[in-house]
Every structure is written in structure tokens, then in C-alpha cells.
Amino acid sequence: MKFLFLLLGLALGYRPTAQATPIVRVELRVEPTTRAFTCRYVFTLPTTDTASVLQLNLNKRFRVENLRGGAGLVRRGRVYYPNFQNTLQQLTVRYPTPRRQARQISFTYSGTLDAGRAKAQVLEFSAHSGWLPFRPTGEYELLDYALAVRVPAGYQVRSTTPARRARAGRYQFGGRTSATELTAIIAPQFAQVTARSGPVLTVVKAGAALTPLETAILPKAQEIIAFYNRTLGRQDSITRFTVFLTGTRQDAFGLLDNATVITYRPDFDVAQRGDLLILAHEISHKWWGYGSVHDQSDWLNEAFATYSSLLYLQASGDTTGYRQVYTKLDQTTPNTPPITGFDRSKYEPGMYRRVIYNKGMAVLAALHRRVGTTPFYAILATTAARKVSTTTTFLDVVGQMVGADTRAWLLAELSR
């Protein structure tokens, strides 16, 4: 199997990157009519990682076979995962004395895609489908990947990058993304509309032709991306982007690999302020998705995306909407714990959004007012380009760009 996946990697054009990240090889075979799938998964640590233990968490409902750990001792178990409030199966490999060599775990697992991520003949293998393994607390760990998908005749597959090969029900994709964001949208047909100018922006729908409401997403997404590219993304601009419409009516989420998945109701309408803010929020996660989701660093994801969407709203001329939404969110922040050290497990579920989304947004707005628009956008652009993932690093960016006094002030605000 090592040789097979080496060939797969070469076929997909994979080459090791300068930054040492884990490498995964995934072969996914799907039966759309039953939602059943089988996945062959190979996870390889970089040679610079000398860890003596490698663990992967996986949905407990999936059946695991052919578990291999090279020279390591393999063990299976179960673990309660607080972030999911559920028990997962955990695959562990213990290696001999650390040496500077590749360490690998490979296995096959099978199961059924959750019904909430399927509709008629459409299947959504995505970041929120829970179909992929990940290291503990590493759902958004960056990795290089090669993804091969096999589907029956009459079905097509789309992903966040164009297929490197697509022939006779076999599709191959590759790139770099986070551990749980490898994406395969499967359907008998797809409809799409593509921007004629600017970044390569496409709205892709699994199923029949796009409705007028769905087609209207394209020009709004163009406006949002143009604004972000001029401001927070000017050091790391979007050159291609895909908006997926799956019709599974679950949620919306942005992906690091220049894409977002919108699975809301059919009347999702970007002419309405609320839906427009959702689109702007999720697109901004192209930059705001590097903080941990398990601690206070999650404000670097969600507060930044929330305030980015409000900045777009203001820049688009809807200053009334900006004030109304800002005030509504800000009114939820009194009597909330500090962002610094926030532990969501100690509070009722609603406190998480009040602190991580809303209070974080208010802190960013206060920083904006304190330093002015030009320095503030420079801070955002540098933060985005550096893929900042901790509050301390963000504080350092602020201190470097606008001074130690403002860094100290910001730390006090986050600790308030």
C-alpha cells in the first residue's frame, strides 16, 4: 500500500513543501444510493517530528480494519471528546525510541454518511460531516493531502480545488488544508456560474440549475472579496474562490482552501442583511481559521470573522445596518468572563458566542477606534498574512505596529 500511495501522490502532483506538515493520503469510495462509504487513510508525520506516540480520533460508528503502524505498537480505544460532547474511537501507535524518520499510521474504515449531510442523490463529505480522522484537538491542523474519490457511473465529484484527474468515476484532488476540511461534494449533476472578471470566483450548486436567488450570490461574493482583498487580505489576496450550495439545509462554514459551503434553506437571500453577513463572515474564514477551537484562541477565528463582515457592511454603504448589528451584539457582552483564559466548559452553551464572537468583536471595534482605520487594516492584513494562531502572537503584532502602550491596553481589554 505504501507504493500505491506514493504513486497516487506523484499522480496528483504532490511535492513536499518547505514547511514540515503531516501528509495524508485518502482513497474514498462512495455508494450514493445508500450513503455508504469506505475510506483508506494514510497519515505520515514529517521526519522532523520525533513524537513517540501518534493518536487519531475517529467517529465511533465507523468500522476500522487493517490498522498498521509500521514498527509501532498499535492500540485501539475510546475517549470522550468535550468539544463534540461525544465519545470517539481513538487509534494509537507507540513507536520505538524517536528517530528522524517518517512515522506512519494506515487503516481502512467504513460507515454511512450522516443523513443530515445528504439530500436525495447529493452527498456532502465536508468539514462538518465528521468523516475524517484527526489528531486530538487537531481538527484544524494544517496538512498536505492527496484525495482520490471513486463514485458509480452517473455521478460527479467537486472539491475545493479543480480535479487533477477526472475519468470514469475516478477523481483526484490535492493541496494543503486542515485535517477535517478535505472536501468531496457528490451529485449526478452540478450547475454553476463563474465571474467574468477579477478573481476566479464560482458558485457551484449540487443539482439542477441555479435559482435567481442563488445566482445573486455571485456578484455579492465578488464585492465582498474585492473589499477584503483591498483591506485585510491585501498581503494574501484571494485569487480563486468557490461557493458550494449543497441543499442539505444544515449550516454554513468557511474553509481555509478558498471556499465556503452554504447549506441553508433554499430562500437564502443575500439581498437580506442577515444572509449577506453570513456570506461575508464565511468568506473571511479564508484568513481567520488558524486559532485553536478549544480555548480562547477561537476568538481569532470567530470574532475576527464577525467584525470583518461588519466592516464590509459599513464599506458597502449600509452604515445603519452596521450600527444596528454592532449594537445588538455588543449588548450581549456585559457581565461576561474575560476572553483571556475563557473556558467554555465552565459556562452554559450561550456564553461561548457572547464571549468568543460578540465580546471579541467589540474588542476589535475598540482597537479600531483607538488606532484609526489605516493602522487597523494594516494590523489585520499582517495578522492574516502571518496566519496568526494565538492571542499572544496577535498582541505582539499590535505592539510591533502601533506601540507597546496599545499592546498593554489591548491585553487589559481582553482580560476585562
| Cβ atoms < 10 Å from Cβ of 20 | 13
Please check whether residues 256 and 338 belong to one and the same domain: no
Q: What per-residue confidence (pLDDT) applies to 102?
A: 67
Query: Does residue 274 fall inside a structural domain?
Result: yes
Is there a domain that residue 291 lies in? no
pLDDT of residue 101: 63
Q: Which residue has the cell 500500500?
A: 1
Task: Return the DSSP state at 346.
Answer: G
The CB density around residue 337, as the number of other CB atoms within 10 Å, is 16
Compute, in degrees rounded to 10, the torsion defined by CA atoms 155, 157, 163, 164: -60
What amino acid occupies position 116? Answer: G
Distance of CA 329 to the CA centre of its chain: 24
Other residues' Cβ atoms within 10 Å of the Cβ of residue 81: 16
Indicate whether 289 belongs to any domain: no
- Rounded Cα distance between 316 and 367, Å, is 21
Write the CB contacts of 387 (distance below 8 Å, at least 6 apart in sequence).
290
- The rounded distance, in Å, linking the Cα atoms of 134 and 132 is 7
- Indicate if 262 and 133 belong to the same structural domain: no
Name the strands in the sheet holding 156-158, side by side, starting at the edge strand that comes first in the sequence. 118-119, 122-125, 184-187, 156-158
Same domain flag for 371 and 319 = yes
Considering only CA atoms, which of 409, 323, 309, 403 is closest in space to residue 363?
409
Domain boundary pick from 256, 284, 312: 284
- pLDDT single digits (tens) 232-273: 999 999 999 999 999 988 899 999 999 999 988 788 999 999
Share of the chain above pLDDT 90, in %: 84
Who contacts 350 (Cβ-Cβ below 8 Å, separation ≥6)?
Answer: none
The answer as to whether 41 is a domain residue is yes
Instruction: Give the tens place of pLDDT for each residue, 152-202.
Output: 999 999 999 999 999 999 999 999 999 999 999 999 999 999 999 999 999
Q: Report pLDDT for 12.
A: 38
Assess contact for 215 and 246: CB atoms under 8 A.
no
pLDDT of residue 3: 29
Question: DSSP string covering 139-190, please?
Answer: TT-EEEEEEEEE--TT-EEE-SS--SEEETTEEEEEEEEETT---EEEES-E
Do 135 and 267 share a domain, yes or no?
no
- Same domain? For 162 and 196 the reply is no
* Beta-carbon contacts of residue 253 (< 8 Å; ≥ 6 apart): 126, 127, 128, 260, 261, 282, 285
Closest residue by Cα to residue 187 from 233, 155, 147, 150: 155
What percent helix, strand, coil does the chain show, rounded to 5? 35, 30, 40
At how many degrees (to 10) do helices 217-230 and 273-284 cross?
Answer: 50
- Burial label for 299, CB within 10 Å (0-12, 13-18, 19+), is buried
Residue-number span of the structural domain to which 79 is assigned = 2-187
Q: What is the CATH number of the domain that holds 357?
A: 1.10.390.10
In-domain check, residue 143: yes
Distance, in Å, from the CA atom of 413 to the CA atom of 416, rounded to the nearest integer, reads: 5
388 domain-assigned: yes
* Ranges under pLDDT 50 in the chain: 1-18
The pLDDT value given to residue 98: 59
* Same domain for 92 and 196: no
Q: 159 with 151: CB under 8 angstroms?
A: no
Q: Are residues 152 and 197 in the same domain?
A: no
From CA 42, how far away is CA 211, in angstroms rounded?
Answer: 40
Overall domain count for the chain: 3
Residues 210, 176 within the same domain: no
What per-residue confidence (pLDDT) applies to 416? Answer: 95
Tell me the residue type at 385: A
Same domain, residue pair 32 and 155: yes
In a domain, 397, yes or no: yes
**Domain-terminating residue out of 152, 187, 222:** 187
Last residue of a domain, one of 215, 249, 284: 284
* 200 and 115 within one domain: no
Is 245 among the domain residues? yes
pLDDT at 103: 83
CATH number for the domain that contains residue 138: 2.60.40.1730
**How far apart are alpha carbons 387 and 402 in whole angstroms?**
19
**Amino acid type, 166:** A
Q: Are residues 155 and 37 in the same domain?
A: yes
Q: Over the Cα atoms of the chain, what is R_g?
A: 22
**133 and 212: one domain?**
no
